[in-house]
Structure 1
Amino acid sequence: MDANRRSALFAGVLFVFATVSYISGNAIIESVLSAPDYLQDVYSKKNQIVLGVLLEFINSAAVVGIAIMLYPVLKQHNEKIAIGYVGFRVIEAALLIVGTIGPLLLIGLSQKYIAAGAPDHSYFQTIGALAAEGSLSAFQLAMLALGLYSLFFCYLLYRSKLVPRFLSGLGLFGYVSLSASAIMELMGYNGMYLYAPGALFEIIFPLWLIVKGFNLSGRT
């Protein structure tokens, strides 16, 4: 297996690993925080929160790993875009890590809330809501960073024909949609439905890398 094929394989595996770890971690955290009386539950379920956060940390590491694995291949076609892709995926990972601070803060807040007798309409609820909103905003900023710079990434894929152009075209459309979704969510609108095209790309693209690898001949 040559270096380019190995880079494609590892990047594809890391894409899948990142997706599975983030979805799992977020689902575990949301299973606790989605309850109406979550402040009363968080402390007793702190191990679930910590597990969810650890899975999201794994996702952040995998995100950076993807860029590192793809860098040698992308560099052959455009070094500036390759470097920028690594940089923006580091920014994405950092923002995702910032987003995990909120759930961790809620553990201590929940402990104090219970010790205070679980008062209704107190500052505990306000702080809890701010922590949750801060985490969501950090996530949306991470998605905005991912979406915007991945347009350059998909443009490079399209121009170089490293993958079939229908796939890089799907990526361009998907990341435009992801960027629009993140902006809408940050402005208080529901943009979740715009995740679908980008999610589809991030399923098909890694599978293509794992099974086929890059087309280094420039023909599709």
Structure 2
Amino acid sequence: MDNDSNFSGNSSSRIHNLIEDLGDESFETRNEALMTLKAMLPASESSISSNLVEIISGHGDDGAGSNTSFVNKGAIELFQGMTELGLEPLVNELLRKGDVYARRVAVDALGRTGRMAVLPYLIASMNDDDMYVRWQAAKGLGRYAGSNDARDALLGGIDDTEPYVRKRVARSLESFGGIGPKDEKIEGPMEDDGEGDIDGDGIKDSDDEEPRIANNEEIDYNAMTVPQLKKALKEK
């Protein structure tokens, strides 16, 4: 019994050390650690997942080129090879309890799996306070082209307060029928006298065949067909 306990403890310690090596400055060390951890899946899936979540939770910001960014990159790749059991700590600890940096990693990793089981979490993340979490959620939802729920969630993000997110939403909607990224136009009401240029194309509203829809008019995106959506996004 003691031998089993020691073996389990040694294995967990080794996994922890390997995950720490994912953040090493040396590419060779990082790559060797990643390959070793991958080889330990699925047998050590639960332990690897728990250790990844623990380390990610304590690292915080992940500026480009930092040790944290290397760990997060390796973690995201490892989560792709895990079953739903291995993804549970990702949802229960990082997504539900983690700080903004942890949630970004969690949504990025979940979105890359393309599994139906994680779809509800991506949809919920479209309402996250952090725009980068919403961006990752929108990116992930683009992998669910056959899902009406995913499409509806993306449509709900068309009017996101952040242009960064709106463009990602439009890009993801391409997989649902060809909606491309919309151009950001100048905000403001349409001029009553028709002399304004609400869409900024150099044509007066009175002469423009497709002037931008006034801000006080509500658009029912859900009732539109894909071609209508594409046209509406380009006009917006």
- Structure 1 or 2, whichever has the larger Rg, is 2
TM-score (norm 2): 0.22
More contact order relative to length (CA 8 Å, sep ≥ 6): 1
Which structure has greater helix proportion? 1
